[in-house]
Amino acid sequence: MVAQRDSRDARVEVHLDAIRQNVQAFGHHLGQQAGIMAVVKANAYGHGAEAVARTAIRAGASWLGVAFLGEALALRKAGIQVPILVFGRVSPEDAWLAAKHHISLTVFQQEWLHQAQQCQPGDVGLDVHLKLDTGMGRIGVCEQADMQTLVQAIQTADCFRLQGVYTHFATADESDSNYFRMQYDRFKKMLGWLQTWEALPDVIHCANSATALYFPGNVHQLARIGIAMYGLAPAADRKSDLPIPLHPAFSLQSRLIHVKQLDGGEAVSYGAEYITKGKEWIGTVPIGYADGWLRKIAENGGEVLVDGERVPIVGKICMDFFMVRLPAEKNVGTRVTLIGRQADACIEVDEIARMLATINYEIPCMIQDRIPRIYNDAEKNAAF
């Protein structure tokens, strides 16, 4: 474990060994034909982009995927050299900054190519991936004519190289595969057009985590693995039929910073709405909604782990603190697990997602940078 000063007793512990195992499991699941792009956008879904990227690369990932150019540049600045693809739309005037750092960009607009070409500074070349919208309705080209114009513009300009083509599925996590099949058929048809125009690039990709898990035969050259690399299932209702085991990497830990016994009839937290029923041991935990630990979690019966037992959150969650009802007196400094495991007890990211009526993706993303990320790396520790 990397030592880091942590005077407020709150930390996200990221299990890099779990990430390594998940990437390796995908390597076996997909076989030799498909490479792995580790998706590390949004600070690696809240896990820490640089540490996750390095771990994924060591475990066999050959590409990194991010949403914005800034995220890609930060990885380059950290010294990471593998190919990186930006999924979003980069401003055309920043295209050459990307090129200079060997960062590949997503293209889907004729006007963008024109504007980027206008400000090309000289002999740099830019690698582009053509984005096809097959039914996600987010970004990408849909029409054959638009596709042809784009491809021609790329082919006739010296400064662009068509390195890849891709699409993104809206429903690969669902057990009903009809919409997925429809999107995949459109993708195949569009690849056929590219072939006719002799423009089919080397790197064809379409798989997010759910596609790579449930449709490994439809992956093509590269699988863009996000959520499952972090050990979380893309579909909460299909956790029992995962083809590979997933190891969660994210845990949220704290400590009791205050413990006291209250008499019956005393109130806890804002609004003085929680009233003790008799003498109760109340502990204070230094994490609050400003850290992303939202009030709704308490309203919906939120619990934490103390000494291997579930204990309830009582009263409203404050900006920087919340309180719990302890079964007995505990020492200040006792470990409190908000997400993760203690002995046989476990609070999963999925449980918090259910309480907030959302998907697991949102949970690590919403835990703010105010809580430091600490890396727990069994392999590295073993080497020392």
Footprint on this chain of ligand PLP (rule: CB under 6 A) = 39, 41, 87, 168, 208-210, 224-227, 234
* The total number of residues written for the chain in this structure: 384
Nearest distance from C-beta of residue 32 to ligand PLP, angstroms: 21
Nearer CB in complex with ligand PLP: 168/255: 168
Measured in whole angstroms, the distance separating CA 181 from the mean position of its chain's CA atoms is 25
Our CB check for ligand PLP shows the closer of 10 and 227 to be 227
Q: Nearest distance from residue 140's CB to ligand PLP, in Å?
A: 10
Min. distance of Cβ 69 from ligand PLP in angstroms? Answer: 14
CB of 225 to ligand PLP, least distance (A): 6
User: What b/e string do you get for 327-354 counting C-beta neighbours within 10 Å, with b at 16 or more?
Assistant: eeebeeeeebbbbbebeebebbbbebbe
Least distance (Å) between residue 191 CB and ligand PLP: 17
The residue from 77, 189, 260, 270 that is catalytic is: 270
Strand intervals (E) in the chain? 10-15, 35-39, 63-66, 84-86, 103-107, 126-131, 160-166, 203-207, 222-225, 250-255, 258-262, 267-268, 274-275, 280-285, 303-306, 309-314, 322-326, 335-342, 345-347, 373-376
Q: Which two tokens stand for residue 354?
A: 């259910």
Question: Is position 41 annotated as part of the catalytic site?
Answer: yes
Which of 42, 124 has the CB closer to ligand PLP?
Answer: 42
> Among residues 41, 131, 316, 330, which one is catalytic?
41
Q: Which residue has the tokens 């607009």?
A: 109
Whose Cβ is closer to ligand PLP: residue 227's or residue 287's?
227
End-to-end CA distance of the chain: 11
Closest CA to 48 of 382, 379, 365, 377: 365
Residue nearest to ligand PLP (CB): 226
Nearer Cβ to ligand PLP (90/225): 225
Note if 270 is an active site residue: yes
What is the set of active-site residues?
Answer: 41, 270
